[in-house]
C-alpha cells in the first residue's frame, strides 16, 4: 500500500498553496475572545446570532398572542405590534439567518472543507465579527431609546418610516439604519475572506468540482451578498440623509399634521428598487447555503452519492445569477409598466426550473438509499417538504394577477415563512446536529433531538399551513386588530387562536434545543473524529475538535469527490476525500 501511495504522489505538482504563516495567539484573550481563528469566530458568530434570534422568537410570541387573542393582552398596543413585526423580520432575516449561514457555518466549514489552515485574511475576519456584534448591540439599543425601535416594517419603506405617525421615528429608525450600515461593513470583511479562501486556499487536489456542495452554496451566496448588500447600504445612507439632513432622495412633498414638510420631489419607488435589489438576492443568500448543506446531510445520512452533482452545481450558480433580475416581483402592487411586470413574472418563474432540479435530485438521492433517520436527516427531510410547500406558493405569487389580490394578506406571510423562514431554519438545526460533534467533540442527545424535531416541525406546520387559508379568506397582514369584519368568519378567529398556541409550543421547544446544546457540551456521548462516517475533509482532521491550524503538520491531499458513499467493492460504505485510490480495485467500479 505504501508503494501505491508514493506512486500516486509522483506527478503531483508542487504545492501551489504555500504554507501560511499562522497567527499564533499569545494569551487567553487573543485565543478565545479576540481570536483570529476562523473556528472560534464561527462559534462567536453562531452564539451571537442565536442569542439575538431568541429575541426575535419572543417578539413572534408577542405578535401571536395579540393575533390569537386580540384585546386580551392590554400591554400590546398597535404601535408596539408594528415594532415587534419590524424587529422580528429584520433580526430573523439579516442578523440571524445571514449571519449564521455565512458568518457561522461559512467560517467553520469553508477552511475545513477545502483543506485550508484558516481563512486567508484572519485579522479582517476577526474585525468582521466584532463589527457584527456592534451592529447587533446598536440594534438591541433601539429597544431602549425614547420612542422605541422603528415600526416601519422590515422593508423600512419611506416616506412612512421617517414620518411621525410611525413608532420609532425619533431614534429607532436612525439606529436601525446605522446598525444595517455596520452589519454590511462587517459582512464585507468576512465575505472577502470566504470568497478568496475558496478561490485561493484550496488544498492540493481540491478542484472546484470536488468541493462539497456546502462550500458551493456558501461561496455562491457570499458572492451574491457582496454584490447585493451595497444596494441596502446605498438605500440606508440616503435615507439617513433624508432623516437627519433634510435631503429629499426618497421623501416626496408631504403635509404632516397640517404642516407642509421641508421635503419635496423625492421618490419612494427609488427606495423600493434599491431595497429589493438587495432584498431578493437576500432570499437566495439564505437559501443557497441551506441548499448546499442539505445536499451534504442527505447524501451522508442516506449513505448514497448525491444525485446529479454537476447539475446541482450548475443550479446553484444559475439561481445565483437569476436572482439579480427578479427583484421587482416584490413591487407588483407599487404600480409599474405592465411590460415590466411581465418580464419580472417570467424571470421569477424561470428560477423555479433550477430549484426544481435541486428538489428532484434530493429526492432521487434518497431513492433506494440506506436512509438513517438520525436527527440531522429528519431535519433535512423536513426541509425538502417545507421548501416544496413554500416554493409552490411562490409560483402563485410570482404571477402579477395572483399577487395583486394576495399581496397584503396572510397568504404572503405564510409563503415567505415557509420558504425562507421555516425551511432554512430546518437546515440550521440539521446542520447543528450534524456538525456539533466536530465543533465540540461530543454528540448532541438523540432523544432530545427527536423531541425537538417533531415539536418544531409539526408545530411550524400548525402555525403556517392554516395561514395560507386565512390569506385566501382575505385576512390582511400587518393589522394589530382585525375587529369585526363581514368577510372573516368566526372560525377564522378560532384558527388564529390555535395557531398562536402552536407558536407558543414551538417557541418553548427551542428551550429543549438550547438545553441540549449546553448539556451535551460536557455530558454528551464522546463523538470520535467521524461519527457519521462522512467523506468530506472536515471529518478527517487529526484532532477533534480541530486544533489551531486544522491539519497538524501536513495539509491533506484530495484524491476524489466528496460523495463516495457505498462504493461497490470498497471495504467501508464511505471513502474519505483524502484517501488515495486503490489501484487494485477493478476499474469502472465507480461509474
Partner 1 sequence: MSAIVLFMAGIAAIAGWWLSQQRLGAKPWLEEGALGEFRGGSASPLPAAKLGLGVFLAVVGSLFALFISAYLMRMESIDWRALPVPRVLWFNTAVLIVSSGALQSAVIAARRDDADRVLLGLLAGAVAAVVFLIGQLLAWQQLNAAGYFLAANPANAFFYLITAVHGLHLLGGLVVLGRTTVRAWRGVATPRLRLSVELCAMYWHFLLLVWLVLLVLLTGWADDFAAICRQLLS
Task: Please report, as ranges, the residues that interact with partner 1 according to CB under 8 A.
Answer: 8-9, 11-13, 16-17, 120-121, 188, 191-193, 195-196, 199-202, 204-210, 223, 226-227, 230-231, 233-234, 237-238, 241, 245-249, 262, 264-267, 270, 273-274, 277, 305, 309-310, 313-314, 317, 321, 324-325, 337, 557-561, 563-564, 581, 590-591
Of the two residues 102 and 274, which places its CB atom closer to partner 1 in the complex? 274
Of the two residues 518 and 589, which places its CB atom closer to partner 1 in the complex? 589
Answer whether 277's CB lies under 8 Å from 548's CB: no
Of the two residues 79 and 247, which places its CB atom closer to partner 1 in the complex? 247
- Closest separation in Å from C-beta 34 to partner 1: 21
Q: How many CB atoms lie within 10 A of CB 43?
A: 20
Answer whether 300's CB lies under 8 Å from 534's CB: yes
- Closest separation in Å from C-beta 125 to partner 1: 11
Task: State phi, psi for 22 to the nearest 5 degrees.
Answer: -75, 145
Of the two residues 190 and 421, which places its CB atom closer to partner 1 in the complex? 190
Report the C-alpha gap between 220 and 279 in whole angstroms. Answer: 16
Q: How far is CA 399 from CA 201, 338, 395, in A?
A: 43, 12, 7
> Within its chain, how far is the Cα of 402 from the centroid?
27
- Closest separation in Å from C-beta 70 to partner 1: 41
Ramachandran region, residue 474 (left: φ > 0; alpha: ψ -120 to 50; beta: rest): left
3-state secondary structure of 260: strand
- Closest separation in Å from C-beta 228 to partner 1: 8
Of the two residues 314 and 515, which places its CB atom closer to partner 1 in the complex? 314
- Closest separation in Å from C-beta 549 to partner 1: 17
Helix pair 423-440, 107-114: axis angle to 10 deg: 60
3-state helix, strand, coil split of the chain in percent (to 5) is: 65, 0, 35
Of the two residues 64 and 243, which places its CB atom closer to partner 1 in the complex? 243
- Closest separation in Å from C-beta 220 to partner 1: 10
Report the C-alpha gap between 134 and 177 in whole angstroms. Answer: 13
- Closest separation in Å from C-beta 305 to partner 1: 7
Of the two residues 194 and 433, which places its CB atom closer to partner 1 in the complex? 194
Of the two residues 317 and 504, which places its CB atom closer to partner 1 in the complex? 317
Answer whether 86's CB lies under 8 Å from 150's CB: yes
Report the C-alpha gap between 120 and 195 in whole angstroms. Answer: 10
Of the two residues 101 and 277, which places its CB atom closer to partner 1 in the complex? 277
Q: How many CB atoms lie within 10 A of CB 260?
A: 10
- Closest separation in Å from C-beta 538 to partner 1: 18
- Contacts made by residues 22-25, CB under 8 angstroms, sequence distance 24+: 22/117, 22/118, 22/548, 22/549, 23/118, 23/122, 23/123, 24/548, 25/548
- Closest separation in Å from C-beta 86 to partner 1: 24
Cis amide linkage into residue 487, ω under 30° from 0: no
For residue 36, give the nearest of 173, 193, 234 by alpha carbon: 193
Q: Which residue has the cell 464522546?
A: 526
Answer whether 136's CB lies under 8 Å from 48's CB: yes
Of the two residues 196 and 462, which places its CB atom closer to partner 1 in the complex? 196
Answer whether 318's CB lies under 8 Å from 357's CB: no
Of the two residues 14 and 71, which places its CB atom closer to partner 1 in the complex? 14
- Closest separation in Å from C-beta 231 to partner 1: 5
- Closest separation in Å from C-beta 288 to partner 1: 15
Report the C-alpha gap between 546 and 529 in whole angstroms. Answer: 9
- Closest separation in Å from C-beta 227 to partner 1: 5
Answer whether 492's CB lies under 8 Å from 501's CB: no
3-state secondary structure of 333: helix
Of the two residues 351 and 475, which places its CB atom closer to partner 1 in the complex? 351
Amino acid at each position: 500500500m505504501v508503494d501505491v501511495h508514493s506512486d500516486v504522489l509522483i506527478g503531483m505538482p508542487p504545492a501551489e498553496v504555500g504554507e501560511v504563516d499562522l497567527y499564533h495567539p499569545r494569551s487567553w484573550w487573543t485565543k478565545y475572545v479576540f481570536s483570529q481563528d476562523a473556528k472560534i469566530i464561527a462559534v462567536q458568530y453562531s452564539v451571537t446570532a442565536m442569542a439575538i434570534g431568541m429575541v426575535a422568537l419572543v417578539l413572534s410570541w408577542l405578535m401571536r398572542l395579540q393575533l390569537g387573542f386580540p384585546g386580551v393582552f392590554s400591554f400590546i398596543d398597535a404601535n408596539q405590534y408594528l415594532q415587534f413585526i419590524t424587529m422580528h423580520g429584520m433580526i430573523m432575516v439579516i442578523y440571524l439567518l445571514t449571519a449564521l449561514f455565512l458568518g457561522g457555518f461559512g467560517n467553520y466549514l469553508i477552511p475545513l472543507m477545502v483543506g485550508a489552515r484558516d481563512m486567508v485574511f484572519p485579522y479582517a475576519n476577526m474585525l468582521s465579527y466584532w463589527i457584527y456584534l456592534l451592529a447587533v448591540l446598536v440594534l438591541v439599543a433601539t429597544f431602549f431609546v425614547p420612542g422605541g425601535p422603528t415600526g416601519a416594517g422590515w422593508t423600512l419603506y419611506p416616506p412612512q418610516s421617517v414620518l411621525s405617525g410611525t413608532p420609532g421615528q425619533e431614534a429607532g429608525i436612525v439606529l436601525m439604519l446605522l446598525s444595517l450600515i455596520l452589519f454590511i461593513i462587517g459582512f464585507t470583511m468576512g465575505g472577502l475572506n470566504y470568497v478568496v479562501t475558496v478561490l485561493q486556499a484550496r488544498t492540493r487536489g481540491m478542484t472546484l468540482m470536488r468541493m462539497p456542495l456546502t462550500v458551493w452554496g456558501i461561496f455562491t451566496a457570499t458572492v451574491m451578498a457582496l454584490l447585493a448588500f451595497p444596494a441596502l447600504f446605498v438605500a440606508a445612507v440616503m435615507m439617513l440623509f433624508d432623516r437627519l439632513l433634510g435631503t429629499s432622495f426618497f421623501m416626496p412633498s408631504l403635509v404632516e399634521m397640517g404642516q407642509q414638510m421641508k421635503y419635496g420631489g423625492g421618490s419612494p419607488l427609488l427606495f423600493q428598487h434599491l431595497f429589493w435589489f438587495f432584498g431578493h438576492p437576500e432570499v437566495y443568500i439564505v437559501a443557497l447555503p441551506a441548499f448546499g448543506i442539505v445536499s451534504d446531510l442527505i447524501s451522508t445520512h442516506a449513505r448514497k452519492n448525491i444525485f446529479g452533482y454537476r447539475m446541482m452545481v450548475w443550479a446553484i450558480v444559475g439561481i445565483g445569477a437569476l436572482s439579480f433580475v427578479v427583484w421587482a416581483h416584490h413591487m407588483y402592487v407599487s404600480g409599474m409598466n405592465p411590460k415590466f411586470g411581465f418580464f419580472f413574472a417570467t424571470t421569477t418563474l424561470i428560477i423555479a426550473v433550477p430549484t426544481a432540479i435541486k428538489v428532484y435530485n434530493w429526492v432521487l438521492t434518497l431513492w433506494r438509499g440506506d436512509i438513517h433517520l438520525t436527527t440531522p436527516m429528519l431535519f433535512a427531510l423536513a426541509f425538502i417538504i417545507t421548501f416544496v410547500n413554500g416554493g409552490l406558493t411562490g409560483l402563485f405569487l410570482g404571477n402579477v394577477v395572483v399577487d395583486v389580490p394576495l399581496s397584503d394578506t396572510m397568504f404572503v406571510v405564510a409563503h415567505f415563512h415557509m420558504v425562507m423562514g421555516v425551511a432554512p431554519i430546518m437546515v440550521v438545526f440539521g446542520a447543528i446536529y450534524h456538525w456539533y460533534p466536530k465543533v465540540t467533540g461530543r454528540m448532541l442527545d438523540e432523544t432530545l433531538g427527536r423531541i425537538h424535531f417533531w415539536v418544531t416541525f409539526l408545530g411550524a406546520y400548525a402555525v403556517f399551513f392554516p395561514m395560507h387559508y386565512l390569506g385566501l379568506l382575505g385576512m390582511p397582514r400587518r393589522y394589530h386588530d382585525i375587529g369585526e369584519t363581514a368577510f372573516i368568519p368566526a372560525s377564522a378567529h378560532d384558527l388564529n387562536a390555535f395557531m398562536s398556541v402552536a407558536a407558543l409550543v414551538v417557541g418553548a421547544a427551542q428551550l429543549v434545543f438550547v438545553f441540549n446544546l449546553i448539556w451535551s457540551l460536557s455530558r454528551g456521548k464522546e463523538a470520535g473524529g467521524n461519527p457519521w462516517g462522512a467523506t468530506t475533509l472536515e471529518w478527517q482532521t487529526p484532532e477533534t475538535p480541530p486544533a489551531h491550524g486544522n491539519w497538524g503538520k501536513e495539509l491533506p491531499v484530495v484524491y476524489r469527490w466528496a460523495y463516495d458513499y457505498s462504493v461497490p467493492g470498497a471495504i467501508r460504505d464511505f471513502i474519505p476525500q483524502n484517501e488515495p485510490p486503490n489501484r487494485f480495485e477493478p476499474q469502472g467500479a465507480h461509474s
